Structure 1
Amino acid sequence: MTERYHGSCHCGAVRFSFEGEEIVKGLRCNCSLCTRKGAMMSSEAIPPDQFSYESDDQTLGSYQFGLKTARHYFCNQCGIYTFHETARMPGHFRVNLGCIEGIDPFTLEYDLFDGKHLL
């Protein structure tokens, strides 16, 4: 059964929502960026037709590194990483589970993705 999830950055300037299965597990990545962010991501990649976000062009920042296929988005006002377009599935998204209403990422089990050795 799919659910509609809602999320935002800390200050609320970036808001997003998506449809997906019940979130029972997360994903951590050991690449240099994710290690420093420390965020737990959604375990499933979200197709673009199931994901939407709201923010003005001045608020949503992005960062790319390495092969520049992934795009990491953050709020230019509060700095929170909210979601990213994946490297392995361009155009699909993973979200920062700490930004999702009603989800406590500290209670979830997670898988580890070895992004450190992709580059």
Structure 2
Amino acid sequence: MAAWAALRRRYWATVPARLRLLRAATASLALALALLLLFAGLAASGTWDRIAGQDAPRTTSATDLDLALNDMDAQAANILLSNGNAGERRLTTPYGKAVGVYADARRSIGHAAHPGRCRRG
């Protein structure tokens, strides 16, 4: 009990002693926080490296998909308006060409949606 009282007098008796104790506590907490942030950053970096090292599926930009869908829509309208080969003279885009462009757009959307399952060729 006497030792506890002596320590208490030594560290809490004066204002400078209390300030030194608070400075030591603050410095140790700052060091612990810096170490915690360092280890968290290293762990996140390791996780990022593992993810980046794997082959991710290819993605296609949303603009390409939007253009292909719009092209399919336009070609579907051409196919319906041309009414088969009988409407060849009425439209600038004949039925056969509209069907071919529609199929190409459908294939490009299929490649974008399922990059691993479709083969280019």
Tell me, yes or no, whether TM beats 0.5: no
* Greater Cα radius of gyration, structure 1 or 2: 2
Which structure: greater helix fraction?
2
Q: Which has the higher contact order (CA 8 A, sep 6+)?
A: 1
What is the TM-score of this pair, normalised by structure 1?
Answer: 0.17
What is the TM-score of this pair, normalised by structure 2?
Answer: 0.17
